Amino acid sequence: MAQEKTVTPGMHGQWSSRWAFILAATGSAVGLGNIWKFPYITGENGGGAFVLVYLFCIALIGLPIMIAEIMLGRRARMSPVNAMQALAKQEGRSPAWKILGWMGVLAGFLILSYYSVIAGWALAYIFRAASGVFSISTADGIQAMFGDFVSDPEALLAWHTIFIVMVGAVVARGVSKGLEKATKYLMPSLFILLLVLVGYAMNTDGFQQGLAFLFTPDFSKLTPAAVLTALGHAFFTLSLGMGAIMVYGSYLPKNASIAQVSLVIVIADTAVALLAGMAIFPLVFANGLEAASGPSLIFQTLPLAFGQMPMGQLFGTLFFILLVIAAWTSAISLIEPAVAWMVENHGLTRPQATFQALTVTWLVGIGTVLSFNLWDFHFSFFGQEKTNGIFDMLDLLTANIMLPLGGLLIAIFAGWKMKESHSRDELNGNRSVYEFWLFVVRWISPTLVIIVLLHLFGVLKLIGIE
- The pLDDT, as a whole number, for residue 3 is 41
Exposure on the CB side of residue 122, measured as CA atoms within 13 A: 23
Nearest to 81 by CA among 258, 399, 344: 344
Other beta carbons within 10 angstroms of residue 77's beta carbon come to: 21
Cα separation, 326 vs 31, in Å, equals 4
Burial 448-464, CB ≥16 within 10 A → b, else e: bbebbbbbbeeebeeee
Measured over the CA atoms of residue 372, residue 316, residue 270 and residue 76, the dihedral's sign is positive
Cα separation, 363 vs 431, in Å, equals 49
- The pLDDT, as a whole number, for residue 40 is 84
Q: What are the φ/ψ torsions at residue 382 (nearest 5 degrees)?
A: 45, 50
The pLDDT averaged over each successive group of 10 residues in the chain (466 residues) is 52 86 93 87 90 93 95 96 96 97 94 95 96 91 92 97 97 91 92 92 92 92 83 82 93 92 95 93 87 79 87 93 94 95 93 97 96 79 66 83 91 97 91 94 93 75 61
The SS3 assignment for 386 reads strand
Q: Where are the alpha helices (DSSP H) in 48-138?
A: 48-57, 63-76, 80-90, 98-131
Question: What residue ranges define each of the domains in the chain, with the CATH number in brackets?
Answer: 2-462 (1.20.1740)
User: Rounded to an integer, what is the distance from CA 167 to the centroid of its chain?
Assistant: 15
In this structure, are residues 143 and 300 in contact, taking their beta carbons and an 8 Å threshold?
yes
Other beta carbons within 10 angstroms of residue 432's beta carbon come to: 8
The phi-psi region of residue 286 (left if phi > 0; otherwise alpha if psi is between -120 and 50; otherwise beta) is: alpha
Exposure on the CB side of residue 164, measured as CA atoms within 13 A: 25
Burial class from Cβ neighbours inside 10 Å (0-12, 13-18, 19+) for residue 375 reads: middle
In this structure, are residues 125 and 137 in contact, taking their beta carbons and an 8 Å threshold?
no
Q: End-to-end CA distance of the chain: give it in Å, rounded.
A: 54
